[in-house]
Amino acid sequence: MQIVTTQIKGLIETSLIDWPGRLATVMFLPGCNLRCGYCHAKELIENGGERLDSIPLGQVTDFLSGMAGWVDGVVISGGEPTLHPDLPALAARIKSLGFAVKLDTNGTHPEVIERLITEGLIDAVAMDVKAPLDERYERITRVTCDVKDIAESIGIIMASGLEYELRTTVAPSLLTVSDIGEIAEAIRGAKVYALQPFRPHACLDEAMEHLPPCPASVLEDAARLARGFVERVVIRH
C-alpha cells in the first residue's frame, strides 16, 4: 500500500451537512492556491496550515474503522485537496476501509479530478464555481487563475456519472444576480447547483467581516434565474 504523507489538519467526526443524504466524517487538508476574501478556512490556508496540529493518518483510520456501519462516507476537503500529490493514495486508503469518498475542490486541477474519477477513487464531488468564466474569476480568487481549467473540471464532473454538485458563494459585494445567471448558463444542464450566502465571519480578508451578510432575497432572485439553466437549484442557509 502506498505511503500517504499528506497532513490532515482537521477532522469533523460526524456531519449531516457536508454530504447531503449521508452521515459523513470530514477531513481537512492544508493549503490552497486561491485567496478568496470570504474564505473561512484562514488557518488552513495561511502558511500551509503549519500553525495547526497534524492528525496522524493512523489515528484517523483507527477512528473510521470504529465507525464502520455508522458513518457511511468520508469527505476530503480543505484548503484544496488536489494540491497534494498523494491525494489518490489517501482516497484509496479510505476506500479500502469500506467508505465512500467525496471530494471538495475548487476545480483548478482537472487532471487530478479526472484521475480520481477514472481510478474509481471517489464517489461524489462538490466543486466551487467562483464567478463567470472570465476576468471576474481573478477578482474573486485574487490570484492568476486559468478559467480553461475551471471549465475543463466542470465538464469532467458533469460527464462523470458520479453524484455531484456545483456551488457558488453569493457575496453581493462581488457577484450580482446577473453574474449568477451567467454561471448557471456556463454549467447548463448541471444536476445540482447550490447557492450559499456570504457570511461576514472569520474571513480570510478581515475587511469583508464588516460587510453585511447576503440577503435572502438576493439568493432567491439568483436561484430563480439559475433555474432556467440547471436541473435543480439548492439554497444553503
List pLDDT tens digits, range 148-201.
Answer: 999 999 999 999 999 999 999 999 999 999 999 999 999 999 999 999 999 999
How much is the CA Rg of the chain, to the nearest whole Å?
17
| Residue at 206: amino acid letter | E
CA distances from 179 to 144, 186, 189, 194, 222 (A): 20, 11, 17, 15, 9
Asked if 200 and 208 count as a contact pair (C-beta separation under 8 A), the reply is: yes
Give the per-residue pLDDT at 1. Answer: 62
Task: Return d(Cα 1, Cα 208) in angstroms, integer.
Answer: 44
pLDDT tops 80 at residue 227: yes
List pLDDT tens digits, range 62-89.
Answer: 999 999 999 999 999 999 999 999 999 9
C-alpha 105, offset from chain centre: 4
Chain mean pLDDT for the chain: 95
Task: Return d(Cα 49, Cα 207) in angstroms, integer.
Answer: 21
